[in-house]
Amino acid sequence: MSKPTIGITIGDPCGIGPEVTLKALRLLGERRWDVADLVVYGDADVLRATVERCLPPAPHATVPLVDLGNFGGEICPGACAEGGRAAMEYLEAAVDDLKSCNISALVTAPVSKEAVQITRPGFIGHTEFLGEAFGGKPVMMMVGGGLRVALVTAHCALKDVPRLVTESAVFDTIKILDDAMRRCFGVKEPRIAVCGLNPHGSENSPWTREDREVIAPAVVRAHKAGIKCGGPLAGDTVFHRALRGEFDAVVAMYHDQGLAPLKTVAFDSAVNVTLGLPVIRTSPGHGTAFDIAGKGVADARSMTEAIKLAALMAACKNK
């Protein structure tokens, strides 16, 4: 079986994306990591400037570059139209190659929604962009510290969560997660924990109506579909149980319910995974970090793990 080819976009040139990309490539090269071929989508001038400003002298990783040569401005940390435009062009070039099967999976360094929206007002984020490009129903998942957590709702106001947590949304998330665990993580019979929405969601209390009337029926549907899952389970204990090995993955109802525990145990190494697409996409679990861009202090562990996970998922999928 041939090695997968992982495409890596460098993200916003004015953020830490170029720095963590180069640092990750250097780390992988030092470890003689050779389970996938890599190709970078970016701007050679941006990467050269990043090496001069942010990286100590060392042998450079020899990774092919798709050089768009499209960033004409000065690299100054912060959201700007030039950075947002360049970042989206890297992404579009990689998506074209993903559609043409020139690459097996995609790893995206962070972009700034604010910067992109200057020239593309309708832009919401990587996940939504890829959903439109490839179809499917994108589900946000994060991996790290021994946890795998998929979200029923992601970037929305907390007051809107009860309205968005429908039986169909919960069931679809369970099903998409189960399929991904089998196809891309090599888990033959995934054990999935489903969080309740409310405190003590498994109890018959006056405030647990959504758990009884929405989440519990979704879990029953999943059981009928042959999926091993349990819920609604108390959100304040389920992650401890998952870390002890009782579950392979967790479905959380909203962003902070799922990601606060995961980032507590894996803040510097968490990886974002987009499920529900016909392609593999991962990214580091952090943003552009304009406040430290250009200072050479960005931690590349999350980007490194994102590349490694993309390769692992691509290899599992191709078996």
pLDDT band per the 50, 70, 90 thresholds, residue 61: low
What are the residue ranges spanned by the domains of the chain? 1-136+277-319, 137-270
Q: What is the per-residue pLDDT for 62?
A: 79
8 A C-beta contact, residue 137 and residue 130: no
Better pLDDT: 319 or 129: 129
73-104 tens-digit pLDDT? 789 999 999 999 999 999 999 999 999 999 99
Please state the pTM of the whole predicted model: 0.94
CA distance 302 to 8: 14
pLDDT band per the 50, 70, 90 thresholds, residue 179: very high
Residue 246, pLDDT > 80, answer yes
Strand partners, 252: 151
The pLDDT of 11-34, averaged and rounded, is 93
Domain 1-136+277-319 matches domain 137-270 at the CATH topology level: yes
SS3 278: coil
Q: What is the per-residue pLDDT for 56?
A: 83
CA distance 78 to 112: 9
8 A C-beta contact, residue 66 and residue 8: no
CA distances from 118 to 89, 217, 236, 266 (A): 14, 43, 40, 33
Alpha-carbon torsion (63, 315, 266, 94), positive or negative: positive
CATH 3.30.300.10 assigned to 1-136+277-319: no
CA distance 254 to 145: 19
Residue 51, pLDDT > 70, answer yes
199-243 tens-digit pLDDT? 998 888 888 999 999 999 999 999 999 999 999 999 999 999 999
Long-range contacts of 206-211 (CB under 8 A, 24+ apart): 208/232, 210/162, 210/165
Q: What is the per-residue pLDDT for 141?
A: 97
pLDDT band per the 50, 70, 90 thresholds, residue 40: very high
Q: What rounded mean pLDDT belongs to the chain?
A: 94
- Count CB-CB contacts under 10 A for residue 76: 13
**Taking CA 55 as the corner, what is the angle to CA 54 and CA 56, rounded to the nearest 5 degrees?**
130
pLDDT band per the 50, 70, 90 thresholds, residue 60: low
The pLDDT of 235-253, averaged and rounded, is 97
Q: Regarding the domain with residue range 137-270, which homologous superfamily does it belong to in the CATH classification? A: Isopropylmalate Dehydrogenase (3.40.718.10)
CA distance 251 to 192: 7
Reading the block at residue 198, the tokens are: 């409310």
